[in-house]
């Protein structure tokens, strides 16, 4: 049995109105998906259920998103955009490396906090090495590169003197550090995720000190070796 194409209900609209309608539909599908992922879990949620929750046909949902993985990647992108926006006041105001890094990390947790209940269910799948949801996967490269670019801005906009070689290679290391903070946040059951903020506040000065010490000849080689190890052992995208 062949599936009949759904009628185009937007043919009477102007191109601008049609685009606005499409954006509204995309947003409704994403919001519905995130609600269902939180309430019923990622595995149990189907595209049919997402479409029903969003008030669109299943075919329409598939028109915008070919799979649940694409919906998660859209969540990645939206979350990253919110993180950048939340970090902007800090990056525009602060010039010291530690303040820039601390503010950017705290902004990430601020943005993600509404999804805390959903995070544990989601990260169970993101932790799978072969999953398209992994932060190291080829499919996640756009969001990963955007996140690393944000930490590059943290470094490049700093007034602190940083060894040029370390400065060039530090953004990816900071992104890995941020992933560790997020993993801690996933399991943080303290009120308002207070312990995650404490983790940031207590570890950023250590990172700042290590970066400063990398200028010293006696420690420059050690820091360079650490960065080389990170690069050599970087997971291969799958």
**Which residues touch 173 (CB under 8 Å, ≥6 apart)?**
227, 230
Cα separation, 135 vs 148, in Å, equals 12
DSSP conformation letters of 60-123:
HHHHH-SSHHHHHHHHHHHHHHHHHHHHHHHHHH--SHHHHHHHHHHHHHHHHGGGHHHHHHHH
Residue with tokens 């420059």: 220
Kindly state which CATH superfamily the domain 68-232 is placed in.
Tetracycline Repressor, domain 2 (1.10.357.10)
Cα separation, 124 vs 44, in Å, equals 14
Cα separation, 232 vs 174, in Å, equals 16
Q: What is the pLDDT of residue 11?
A: 54
**Looking at per-residue confidence, does 197 or 127 come out higher?**
197
Domain 15-64 is found in CATH 1.10.10.60: yes
The 10s digit of each residue's pLDDT in 114-123 is: 888 777 766 7
DSSP 56: S
Listed by start position, the domains of the chain span 15-64, 68-232
Query: Is 112 in contact with 119 (CB distance < 8 Å)?
Result: yes
Sequence-distant contacts of 59-62: CB under 8 A, at least 24 apart: 59/3, 59/6, 60/6, 60/25, 61/29
Question: CA torsion angle for 64, 44, 121, 125 (degrees, to 10)?
Answer: -70
Token pair listed for 168: 């060039």
Asked whether residue 208 carries a pLDDT value surpassing 90, the answer given is: yes
**Which residues touch 196 (CB under 8 Å, ≥6 apart)?**
109, 181, 184, 185, 188, 190
Average pLDDT over the chain reads 84
Q: What is the pLDDT of residue 4?
A: 42
Percent of the chain whose predicted confidence (pLDDT) is above 90: 45
Query: Is 69 in contact with 33 (CB distance < 8 Å)?
Result: no
Query: Is 154 in contact with 91 (CB distance < 8 Å)?
Result: yes
Asked whether residue 3 carries a pLDDT value surpassing 50, the answer given is: no
Cα separation, 38 vs 35, in Å, equals 5
Q: Identify the weakest region by mean pLDDT among 60-74, 78-92, 219-233.
A: 219-233
Q: Residue 55: left (phi > 0), alpha (psi -120 to 50), or beta? A: left
Cα separation, 151 vs 192, in Å, equals 25
Confidence of residue 135 (pLDDT cuts 50, 70, 90): confident
Residue among 109, 103, 75 at smallest CA distance from 179: 109
Q: pTM to 2 decimals? A: 0.80
Asked whether residue 110 carries a pLDDT value surpassing 90, the answer given is: yes
Q: What is the pLDDT of residue 2?
A: 40
The 10s digit of each residue's pLDDT in 34-51 is: 888 878 877 888 999 999
**Looking at per-residue confidence, does 214 or 52 come out higher?**
52
């Amino acid at each position: 049995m062949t599936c009949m194409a759904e009628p185009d209900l937007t043919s009477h609209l102007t191109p601008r109105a049609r685009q606005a309608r499409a954006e509204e539909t995309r947003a409704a599908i994403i919001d519905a998906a995130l609600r269902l992922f939180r309430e019923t879990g990622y595995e149990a949620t189907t595209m049919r259920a997402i479409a029903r929750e969003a008030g669109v046909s299943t075919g329409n949902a598939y028109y915008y998103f070919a799979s649940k993985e694409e919906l998660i990647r859209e969540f990645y992108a939206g979350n990253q955009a919110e993180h950048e926006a939340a970090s902007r006041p800090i990056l525009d105001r602060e010039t010291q490396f530690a303040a820039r890094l601390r503010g950017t990390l705290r902004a990430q947790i601020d943005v993600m906090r509404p999804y805390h209940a959903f995070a544990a269910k989601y990260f169970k799948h993101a932790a799978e090495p072969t999953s398209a949801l992994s932060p190291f996967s080829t499919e996640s490269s756009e969001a990963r590169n955007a996140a690393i670019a944000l930490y590059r801005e943290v470094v490049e906009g700093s007034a602190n003197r940083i060894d040029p070689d370390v400065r060039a290679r530090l953004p990816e290391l900071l992104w890995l550090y941020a992933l560790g903070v997020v993993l801690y946040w996933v399991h943080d059951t303290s009120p308002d995720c207070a312990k995650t903020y404490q983790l940031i506040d207590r570890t950023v000065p250590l990172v700042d000190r290590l970066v400063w010490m990398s200028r010293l000849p006696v420690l420059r080689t050690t820091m360079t070796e650490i960065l080389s190890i990170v690069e050599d052992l970087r997971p291969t995208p799958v």
